[in-house]
Amino acid sequence: MTHDTCEDLLGQLSDYIDGDLDPELCHALETHMAGCENCRTVVDTLSDTVHLYRTLPPATVSATLSARLRTALGLAPVSVTAPLPDAPEPADDAPVE
């Protein structure tokens, strides 16, 4: 399959970065990137971002903050049996952003 534009290739980036792209499309993308600095920059930046995201520890929030956020977003409350460890409770009058 041939790709004529950067936009065609950029639509395949997620699969490329995840290693799920068909070998023929992968070759087409790599051939295009060899001559396109803009696409190389996009792929490198996205790859770095995905790597950083995957290496971060999971975010934790207190049960109080979670409940306040769910209320602010109009979502149903979630039953929590115990607070998450090391998650400080915010002040009751702390603004929700």
Asked if residue 88 is part of any domain, the answer here is no
Asked if residue 71 is part of any domain, the answer here is no
* Domain containing residue 36: 6-55
Asked if residue 15 is part of any domain, the answer here is yes
Asked if residue 13 is part of any domain, the answer here is yes
**Chain segment 2-38, per-residue pLDDT in tens:** 446 788 877 888 899 888 999 998 998 899 889 999 9
pLDDT at residue 6, rounded to an integer: 86
Range of lowest pLDDT (46-50, 69-73, 79-83): 79-83
What does the mean pLDDT of the chain come to?
A: 81
Asked if residue 26 is part of any domain, the answer here is yes
Number of domains in the chain: 1
Asked if residue 31 is part of any domain, the answer here is yes
Asked if residue 60 is part of any domain, the answer here is no
Residue 54, pLDDT above cutoff 70: yes
pLDDT at residue 2, rounded to an integer: 43
Is there a contact between 17 and 43 (Cβ–Cβ < 8 Å)? yes
